[in-house]
Amino acid sequence: MNKVENKTKGITLAIVGAIFWGGSGVCAEYLMIHKGITSVWLVSVRMLFAGIVILSSLFLKEKKKTFDLLKKPKNQLSILIFSIVGIIFLQLSFFKAIESSNAATATILQYLSPIFIVFFFILESKKIPNKMSVFSIILSLLGTALLVTKGDLSSLSISPEGLFWGLMAGVLGAAYIIQPRRIMAEFGTMAVTGWGMFFGGLLFQFYHPFWKDLPKLDGTTILLISYIILFGTVFSYLCLLTSTRFIPAQFSSLLTSFEPLSSALFSALFLGFVIKPIELISMLIIICAVFLLSKYGEIE
């Protein structure tokens, strides 16, 4: 396979993975609106079963490496923290944001995570960001302000709860990337994500077991839940991970802009979500800010 074919394959995988993820939020919103399923029940099911599927895939592929992560107490503590902060709280905040606003808004607010990563590294390194990073941060704040006010800065167009959970999803999305860097470098992203989701799912059962408040599982409900677990979580993750074999990880991350765009499109097609010009402009501003930050941002 030549370089052009490799690049095409990598781009395709990254875009497909981003679209799968964007679609999962819309499926979740449909289940909440039309099937009465709560965000906590979805989190309980998604984490546990996605973790089982990812670990099973890893076990079939690399049997000996599957359990290496759990052999040292230091790594056990790291994966436990990741399970709670990077998995449970992130998943819960994302679905809570959908529940209290909508899938498109929740996805675009979560997409702000690279901005929060910059803030973290500024605090950690005590260095100032370059001009493009500062410009990207200002641009992202402008886009967020337009999104949550629809251009009328005197009032919020979404509930304070929706804004809180959406921004929290962005912060925790940053934690998801930053906190497990050491163990991911040593054991690989598949093992860390698989165990993180599995342990997160197990721990969450003590708070809300998936058999509690079990919804009526008709054909549509089963289909959408299966999509969220398999396509919106497992396949989305595997597509994005595999894409980095063919294109640079930085380029792959830029293509995740298809997440909020696909979420907005699917919301319009299947949920009757009307995208107003100001909302479209705000989404494009945020995507542009993250793109510029990913490509040109540095901390000096």
Domain boundaries, the chain: 3-297
> Taking a C-beta distance cutoff of 8 angstroms, is the pair 144, 170 a contact?
no
- Top pLDDT among 244 and 191 is at 191
Q: What is the pLDDT of residues 148-160, one digit of tens each?
A: 777 776 667 788 8
pLDDT band at 117 (very low <50, low <70, confident <90, very high): confident
C-alpha dist (Å) from residue 277 to 6, 188, 288:
37, 42, 16
The pLDDT of residue 300 = 52
| Chain center to CA of 80 | 19
> Taking a C-beta distance cutoff of 8 angstroms, is the pair 294, 253 a contact?
yes
- State how far the Cα of 250 lies from the Cα of 247, in Å rounded to an integer: 8
pLDDT band at 255 (very low <50, low <70, confident <90, very high): low
* Best-predicted range by mean pLDDT (9-18, 70-79, 171-180): 70-79
| Chain center to CA of 126 | 28
Please give the full DSSP string across 40-71, using - where no structure is assigned. HHHHHHHHHHHHHHHHHHHHHH-GGGTTGGGS
pTM value surpassing 0.85: no
Given a cut of 60, whether residue 250 has pLDDT beyond it is no
The pLDDT of residue 252 = 60
The pLDDT of residue 84 = 93
> Taking a C-beta distance cutoff of 8 angstroms, is the pair 48, 201 a contact?
yes
The pLDDT of residue 181 = 81
**CB-count burial class (<10 Å; 0-12, 13-18, 19+) for 5:** exposed
Q: How many CA atoms lie within 13 A of 140 on its CB side?
A: 26
> Taking a C-beta distance cutoff of 8 angstroms, is the pair 265, 23 a contact?
no
* Best-predicted range by mean pLDDT (7-11, 18-22, 147-151): 18-22
- Top pLDDT among 3 and 119 is at 119
- State how far the Cα of 183 lies from the Cα of 141, in Å rounded to an integer: 32
Alpha helix stretches (DSSP H) within 71-188: 73-81, 90-100, 103-110, 113-125, 131-149, 160-178, 181-187
Q: What is the pLDDT of residues 57-93, one digit of tens each?
A: 999 988 878 899 999 999 999 999 999 998 899 989 9
